């Protein structure tokens, strides 16, 4: 259940976020998206709903809660760092269309 904001708290003094049709048209223009008038009206409502959900998240009391880096406890399984495919340069270069001096040769692309 969402908690209500206390009067005078920083979150309560914040202005409510909302968009209007002009902002939706500006966003569509910046994104190079063609939208009809009907689509602008629908997007206005959808974006305002999304912003409302974001505001609800701001109402949650997170004091004393440590940030999570993962939602489940997870330990990395480590292995020894051992080279298993070294010293096979000649085999690797055998697949190259062209090799020079022990390296892949590529055509020059900048004059």
State pLDDT tens for residues 70-105: 788 788 888 888 877 778 888 889 989 999 998 999
Q: Is 69 left (phi over 0), alpha (psi -120 to 50) or beta?
A: alpha
At 110, is the pLDDT very low, low, confident or very high (cuts 50, 70, 90)?
A: confident
Report all structural domains of the chain as residue ranges with CATH numbers, in order of start.
10-58 (1.10.20)
Predicted confidence at residue 27, as pLDDT, reads 94
Q: In the structure encoding, which two tokens stand for residue 36, read together? A: 């009809």
Instruction: Confirm whether pTM is higher than 0.75.
Output: no
**Strand pairing partners for 83?**
none
């Amino acid at each position: 259940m969402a908690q209500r904001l206390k009067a005078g708290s920083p979150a309560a003094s914040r202005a409510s976020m909302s968009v209007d049709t002009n902002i939706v048209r500006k966003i569509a223009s910046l994104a190079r998206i063609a939208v009809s008038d009907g689509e602008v009206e629908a997007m206005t409502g959808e974006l305002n709903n999304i912003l409302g959900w974001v505001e609800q998240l701001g109402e949650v009391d997170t004091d004393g809660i440590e940030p999570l880096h993962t939602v489940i406890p997870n330990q990395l399984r480590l292995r020894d760092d051992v080279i298993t495919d070294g010293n096979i340069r000649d085999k690797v270069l055998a697949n190259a269309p062209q090799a020079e001096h022990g390296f892949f040769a590529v055509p020059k692309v900048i004059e």
